[in-house]
Amino acid sequence: MVLGILTVELDIEHAMSLKDKRAVLNSVRDRVRKKFNVSIAEIEGHDVWNYA
């Protein structure tokens, strides 16, 4: 079994609401999952609309 941890911080400058942030994150999350078959979790910054 291979186990790894990667922490990525995104500054989403054009996001003006949590809905905008969610749209960007869902797009990135879907593309990464399809290409690399990994699990992805947002662990902090849930209520900050321009940071993930």
Write down the pLDDT at residue 1: 83
Average pLDDT of the chain is 88
- Residue 10's pLDDT band, with cuts at 50, 70 and 90, is confident
- pLDDT, average across residues 14-32: 91
Any bridge partners for residue 51, and if so which?
11
When comparing pLDDT for 46 and 32, which is higher?
A: 32
Closest CA to 43 of 3, 2, 4, 10: 10
Write down the pLDDT at residue 32: 94
Interior angle at CA 44, CA 52 and CA 14, nearest 5: 20
